[in-house]
Structure formats: C-alpha cells, structure tokens
Structure 1
Amino acid sequence: MAPPTTPPPPTNGLKASILDDPGLFGRQWAATYDRPGNPDPEPAADFLAGLAGGGPALELAIGSGRVALPLASRGVAVEGIEAAPEMVALLRDKPGGEAIPVVVGDMADVPVPGPYPLVYLVFNTLFNLTGAGRQEDCFRNAARVLAPGGAFVIEAFVPDPAVFDREEQQVQVWSVTEESASIRLHRYDRETQTFVRQTITFRDGGVELKPFGMHYRWPEQIDELAAAAGLTLEARWENWRRDPFGPESRDHISVYRRP
C-alpha cells in the first residue's frame, strides 16, 4: 500500500556531496553500460513515437541512446540532456548518434528552451534525483518546456518493501573473475524512501567503491509531483505494451499532460 503523503526530504543516508552529483552514475558505469540484459527499447520507442507527433521529443538522461536511437529511427526528431560526457561519447559512437543534439547538464534543470510535444524519462531514472527538491524541480522544468497539450512520460518501478528487506539482508555477488571480485550491498531508509547501494570491487592492489543512491516514490506520490507542476495524469500502464496497471504491477508507465 502506498504511503498517504509525500515523504520528508532525504536528509539521512544519502551523502549529498557524492550522490547528488548528476554525472556520477554515467562516469562510473559508462564502460559497461551497454551490456546484454538491458531492456529491449523497441516497445518504448513504439509507445513514445505515438505521442511525439511532429516532434521534437526530449529525453532526460539520454545516456547512450538506448531508447533515443530507435525512436529517431521511427522518424521522430529527438534531443537529449545528459550529465555525463562519458555516456554522450557512447551515443556518438553509434550509428545515428552524431545526429542527436545533446546538452550536457543536470536533467532536473532541463536546460533547453523548448517547446516539446513530448518529454520523457525512462528506466527509473527519476529516482536518481536524490537531493531535496530535485524531483520537484525536474517536473516543474519539464512542464515549463512542454508545448500546450504536450506529454511528460515517466517509466519507474513500484516500490516493494519485501524486495528491500531481501536485498538489505544479503550480500549479492556481482561478478567474480580471475583478476577481481565484486559484491553489492544495500541500505534502506524507510522514512525518507531512500537507499544507498555500494558496489565493491576487490582487485590485486586495491579496492574500488561505486556508490549509488535513489529516492524512490510510489505512483501516487509521483502524481503529486506532477500536479504541483500543473500536469495531469492522462494514463497509466504496466509496461510499454499498454498492459493494464493494477495492484500487482511492479512497474508503471505514466503519461502526464500539460493542459
């Protein structure tokens, strides 16, 4: 069951000087980001193309272009915002990547003028904004650059406290090779709806830490962010194929409209 109100700002458990850096994830994981096992982008591209109209569409945290490139292949003009130049370099190395305009900056600031008929943010990345008020900033600024009647699309998981309990009580073996071994640990703060994940890699001669944090929200709480920014929930689906969203859904695709 979703909490009835928005949680207090995440002041415990998340170290602002590290985890609030918008480029942290990209710098740490660009070298291995385009690995097998990432979600198939084709259903997302089909869904988004139906909302983009004549374009252009704006992707927040465009990353290596996993969704942007197949969306562009459907004839939609796509632009992006990405905080990590390392991720932009991955995009540029792919066919069609040089043609997509990308602003290097914080997605919460949405540092572009617009207007756009479609702005979208996929793969739980809204929750990467851990600083107090930054998710609110993201919604407000996305609404600012939307054209009248434009859509802001969010893909996110539905929090499951049972999963949190399992993750927090075990050490996850991430990888083991002849040269290194990596483990992953989680710590959850239920009151502030935040978690810190630490991926620790042991190598001959040193230890590498890759911290990561999230400020997760239930769908109803995301609706509150949208409403405060002047956006209205138009539809919510379980996945990009438009399967109905229900009590057992573990993910959601939410479409918000600017009046």
Structure 2
Amino acid sequence: MTSDPTTQDRRPHYAVEFADDYDRWFGKPGVSGATVDALEGLAGEGPVLELGIGTGRIALPLRARGLDVHGIDASEAMVGRLRAKPGGVDLPVTIGDFSRVPVPERDVFSLVYLAAGTFFELREQADQARCFAQVAQHLAPGGVFVFDSHVPEALAVAATGSQVVSEGDDHLVLCYRRIDPSVQRYSSHYVIHENDRTRQMRVEFRYAGAGELDLMARQAGLRLKERWGSWAGAPFTRDSTYHVSVYESR
C-alpha cells in the first residue's frame, strides 16, 4: 500500500467517521450481488481495478470468484475495514486520489470499475475528465471502464422527499438530497438515529448526464459499448432512474 499526502483533503468525511457502519447501513445484498455478477461477466481474465474500493463490498466477492482484484481508495479507515474481512489482507490497495489512478504506468487491467455512484464524488468536471483519461491509459486491449450513474432528471424528482436507507430495531437511517443545478452538484444528507443518539452525515457529488459522460469518454479515447438500466442488465429506457455505462477503447 502506498500513500499520497495530497489525498488528505479529498477524503470524504463519511469515509473516516462512519467507516465502521458503512456496510451495515449501505450494503444491500441484492444490489451488491447483481453488481458482482455483472462485473464478473465483463472482467474476462483480469486483472481488474476498483476505484474507490472502500470496505471491499464488491471487490472481495469478485476476488472470491477467482479474479485478481486491485483497488484505490483515499480513506485509510475504509480500507482498514476491508483488511479486517476474510481475504482483505491480501488484496492490493493503493491509498490515493482515484481520479489520478495512481498505479504503476505498466499496470493494465481488463476491467476498471466503480459502484454505488462513487465516480461522482469527484466534484469537479476536470477531475472526472482526468479519471476517464487516466483509466484509458490502464486498460488492456479489449478492456472496459464501467460505473453507475443517476439520471439527473430522476435525481431531481427523488430530491423532493426523503427515503429510508436502513432501519432495524435499534436504528433508522433517513436520506434526503438537495440539488444545485447551477453547479451540477447535489448533496445527500443522512440523519442517523441509533441507540437514542442522532447523528448527521453529508456527502457531496457532482452529477453529469449521459451525453456529458460520453463526451468525456470520447475525449479520453473511449467509446460507449453498452448502457443498461440496472446492474442486472435491464434495458435503459425513459423510465430508468439510473444507468450502468460500459466504455471501451476506440
């Protein structure tokens, strides 16, 4: 594991303070399973690279299926949770800014991916475009770059109310979103009530429509190969609330 001191300011607050609770609140087995299945189908023989690997929710199941998985993450706390899981100690992770893909120049991958909207934690267009460009430099021939994305119009509708993220006998996690279209950003604001204590967590994102993403891909030398309406491979239609985009080298 290597560390980049310039990543300190890029570590989301939640990835430090709430690392121990992340899987319990956000780990949805059905969604995670479909994501792992889809990525396994795209991976070929590997190796594969996850940007924003976090606690290993996706990477460790892929590794259990025989893939050579590598990761990048800016949060040592999240990676610490990964290390505590079976097989986590042996999974190679670089601590750093994933928009710069800080792995050796010679390393190439059959699949580079992000999940759960992580790409949009890059809050500047320049960072998002740089991520595309850097990924393109590390794709093996025939390799693909894959991530999921909210449909901005559906995101705006979802921001009109709150939703239950997780609940149990001892806790309740609610989320509401605020959108600022003047800068293409939204914030997910979480209210966590647990053991008679209420806490708050805020995560900031920069959203982008499918057309802007495709343009950044083309500028990086990639092209859209497939676009699905879910990780389970549903068609992307006018009613889709998010999409999974698969980009390949031109």
TM-score by length of 2: 0.82
SS for the counterpart of 1:62 is: coil
Shift of 1:189: 1.0
| 1:1-259 matched pairs, under 5 angstroms | 21-35=10-24, 38-40=27-29, 41-113=32-104, 114-159=107-152, 160=154, 161-164=156-159, 166-167=160-161, 186-199=177-190, 210-259=201-250
Task: Name the count of aligned residue pairs.
Answer: 234
Instruction: Tell me which amino acid in the other structure corresponds to 1:118.
Output: L
Shift of 1:182: 8.1
User: Are the counterparts in 2 of residues 152 and 255 from structure 1 also a CA contact under 8 Å?
Assistant: yes
Cα separation, partners in 2 of 1:42 and 1:200, compared to 1, 3 Å: closer
Shift of 1:64: 0.6
Cα separation, partners in 2 of 1:20 and 1:45, compared to 1, 3 Å: same
Cα separation, partners in 2 of 1:195 and 1:258, compared to 1, 3 Å: same
CA distance in 1, matches of 2:249, 2:123: 25
Shift of 1:209: 5.4
CA distance in 1, matches of 2:193, 2:67: 44
- CA distances 1:112-153 after superposition (whole Å, capped 9, x unpaired): 122111100111111111134111111111111111221000
- CA distances 1:159-182 after superposition (whole Å, capped 9, x unpaired): 222222x14xx7x79899xxx998
User: Are the counterparts in 2 of residues 64 and 87 from structure 1 also a CA contact under 8 Å?
Assistant: yes
Q: Structure 1: 5+ residue runs without aligned partners?
A: 1-18
- Identity among equivalent positions (%) equals 38
Cα separation, partners in 2 of 1:228 and 1:70, compared to 1, 3 Å: same
- CA distances 1:51-78 after superposition (whole Å, capped 9, x unpaired): 2222110000001111101111111100
Cα separation, partners in 2 of 1:33 and 1:258, compared to 1, 3 Å: same
- CA distances 1:7-54 after superposition (whole Å, capped 9, x unpaired): xxxxxxxxxxxx962343311320210115523322222211122222
CA distance in 1, matches of 2:55, 2:94: 13
Shift of 1:92: 0.7
SS for the counterpart of 1:133 is: helix
CA distance in 1, matches of 2:244, 2:189: 28
Cα separation, partners in 2 of 1:200 and 1:34, compared to 1, 3 Å: closer
User: Are the counterparts in 2 of residues 57 and 116 from structure 1 also a CA contact under 8 Å?
Assistant: yes
Shift of 1:223: 1.1
Cα separation, partners in 2 of 1:46 and 1:196, compared to 1, 3 Å: closer
CA distance in 2, matches of 1:129, 1:109: 11
**Which residue number in structure 1 is paired with residue 4 of structure 2?**
none
Q: Structure 2: 5+ residue runs without aligned partners?
A: 1-7
Instruction: Tell me which amino acid in the other structure corresponds to 1:137.
Output: R
Instruction: Tell me which amino acid in the other structure corresponds to 2:22.
Output: Y
Deviates more, 1:112-121 or 1:40-49: 40-49
RMSD, aligned α-carbons: 2.9
Cα separation, partners in 2 of 1:54 and 1:36, compared to 1, 3 Å: same
Cα separation, partners in 2 of 1:202 and 1:156, compared to 1, 3 Å: closer
User: Are the counterparts in 1 of residues 177 and 188 from structure 2 also a CA contact under 8 Å?
Assistant: yes
TM-score by length of 1: 0.80
Cα separation, partners in 2 of 1:39 and 1:157, compared to 1, 3 Å: farther
Deviates more, 1:193-202 or 1:120-129: 193-202
